Amino acid sequence: MTSAEPAGVDAPPAQALLAAIVENSDDAIVSKSLTGHITSWNRSAERLFGYTANEAIGQHISIIIPEDRLHEEDVIIGSIRGGKRIEHYETVRRRKDGTLLDISLTVSPVRDSNGSIVGASKVARDISERKRAAERQILLLREMNHRIKNIFAIANAVIGLSERTATTVPELARDVRARISALAIANDLTLPDVGLAVNYQPQETTFFALVKALFAAHQVDGVERVSIGGQDVPVRGNMLTSLALLLHEFSTNATKYGALSVPEGRIEIEVRNDTDFSLIWREIGGPAVHQPDGPGGFGSQLEKATVGSLQGAIEREWNPAGLKIFLRIPSAVLRR
């Protein structure tokens, strides 16, 4: 270590100062021999990987490398022997408890006083949260794209519904406007704009009110094409948004392919709430339906993720006369 100014008489030796910097770094700093055995292990390495310095020093670095990534160590050591520095290498390492974490790794050769390479110094930074944030962003972008496509499909269906009953252009415009307003009301109910309110309280409503708001745009001449019966339950917060998302997926598919794609089609929803919240969705009077081939698109993935977040389960019966959907969610989850 060099300094632009001479050190004061009370200044710590450069080696001690460097050791203090390493020990108190926010990054995990580890050194190892060319055989891969750990020779130093700072406090951040203890926090990041779960091993104390006493447990780690002397052990092979493979204690933190997943089995499917052991080959990386050979590549790293090869680069170090050649005097090459590895910068910001993103990989996965394993904690003492077995959990995996994403890290960014920088590895530099360590030389002795003669300039010979005798080991390597590793600086590891936890990037797990950054990775999760990037994955969430990708998911949100895909969801936005999916929702926009669904909005176009629903808007097209709304125009089709109005076109079947309207006899004049003003009447058509009036019907379309009313249905789009109903969709906007449903959006306000399910996804309120919290703005910058400091004391924002989660939106709360009931399941029946949610269904009526979401399907108000599908009325024809005031006749509801979606009926609901059984036991109403209160829903709020994240549960409200998740249920709205599921119902939106159900209705979009019904609008594209099922009962809501034809004028005479309708949907019956039955709700029960005891140990579990259960919903039965029946499509009646629509075209014949058949189970689609393949794993499904993003809508199917989004539905699966949403049901999983609710600790629920979903099943479908592809009856030619009409689709049936069975949704179950633990009541304890619904009350959160």
Tell me what the mean pLDDT of segment 254-275 comes to: 89
Q: Which residues touch 312 (CB under 8 Å, ≥6 apart)?
A: 327, 328, 329, 330, 333
**Residue 196: its pLDDT value, please?**
45
* CA gap 85, 115 in Å, rounded: 15
**Residue 170: its pLDDT value, please?**
85
Split at pLDDT 50, 70, 90, the class of 147 is low
Split at pLDDT 50, 70, 90, the class of 213 is confident
Q: Which of 50-59, 144-153, 165-174, 179-188 has the highest mean pLDDT?
A: 50-59
Q: Indicate the SS3 state at residue 59.
A: coil
Residue 178 backbone phi and psi in degrees, to 5:
-65, -40
Q: Are 121 and 39 in contact (CB under 8 A)?
A: no
Q: Is the pTM of this model over 0.85?
A: no
- E-strand spans in 34-130? 38-41, 86-94, 100-111, 117-126
Split at pLDDT 50, 70, 90, the class of 299 is low
Average pLDDT, the chain: 81
**Residue 4: its pLDDT value, please?**
43
* CA gap 112, 110 in Å, rounded: 7
302 or 111: which carries more pLDDT confidence?
111
By residue count, the chain amounts to 336
pLDDT at 104 over 90: yes
Tell me what the mean pLDDT of segment 141-168 comes to: 72
Assigned token pair, 283: 């499509």
Q: Which of 78-82, 214-218, 239-243 has the highest mean pLDDT?
A: 78-82
Is residue 295 classed exposed, middle or buried when 0-12, 13-18 and 19+ CB atoms within 10 A define those classes?
A: exposed
Split at pLDDT 50, 70, 90, the class of 46 is very high
Assigned token pair, 120: 């390597």
Tell me what the mean pLDDT of segment 299-319 comes to: 83
Q: Which residue's entry shows tokens 């829903």?
A: 235
108 or 144: which carries more pLDDT confidence?
108
* CA gap 262, 160 in Å, rounded: 10
The count of other CB atoms within 10 Å of the CB of residue 265 is: 19
pLDDT at 62 over 70: yes
**Residue 1: its pLDDT value, please?**
38
